[in-house]
Amino acid sequence: MTSQPPPFAPTSFLSLPYRLRHEIYTYAIDWPDLRVPFTRLARECQRVEANWESRREPKCTIPSPRVAARTTPTLLLLNRQITAEALPVLRAKTLVLETLPPYTPFLGRPMDITDFIGEATLQRVRRVLLKMDLVMDARGWAKTVETLLDVWCVKNSLVEVVVNVTCAYGEERNVIGEEASRQQAAVLISKVSRSENVVFLDAFV
């Protein structure tokens, strides 16, 4: 009688070498892409506003948009060891903000960035990339930057803040306006920077 080969013993995730686990973390966890909830809410607000206008009701009666509840990545809820190993990987990544929270008729202004990312999370972020189009919505970016400053001035873990400012004025460029935009952004961000950790980049089209 031929003996059967022994079955493979199950392997747990934590039995894998740490380097392999670390590699998995880099692919499995990241900061959220805020363009997704921003776009969804912007479409919802446009639909609701159009519906209200068709009924000729005052905009002050438009309900507040529903923001999805903030959730913790599942990977950070498995056990303490995985959380301890995965958190540094997440915090080493760059949080990218390249679009603004949507404008809501209920508020009469854009929503706050803290409606989508909690203050405690923002205070633990180490690297941030701001891609600001000051021509499309300079006031909106100023408000978002001021909100970030309010949060970071209380507490922050910033190591690097990269500011990429785009001012696409077209053929008739407003040189004075462009320079003022650069200086304003640099001054605002430098308030929470650590020594020379802020890298200021301009990209004019």
Q: Where are the domains of the chain?
A: 14-203
- What would the DSSP string read from start to end of 162-194? EEEEE----SS--HHHHHHHHHHHHHHHHTT--
pLDDT tens profile 24-80: 999 999 998 888 888 888 787 777 667 666 666 665 556 666 666 677 888 888 899
Q: CA separation (Å) from 136 to 97, 100, 132, 203?
A: 15, 10, 9, 14
pLDDT tens profile 149-160: 889 888 888 888
Q: CA separation (Å) from 40 to 31, 65, 69, 128, 130?
A: 18, 10, 14, 23, 21
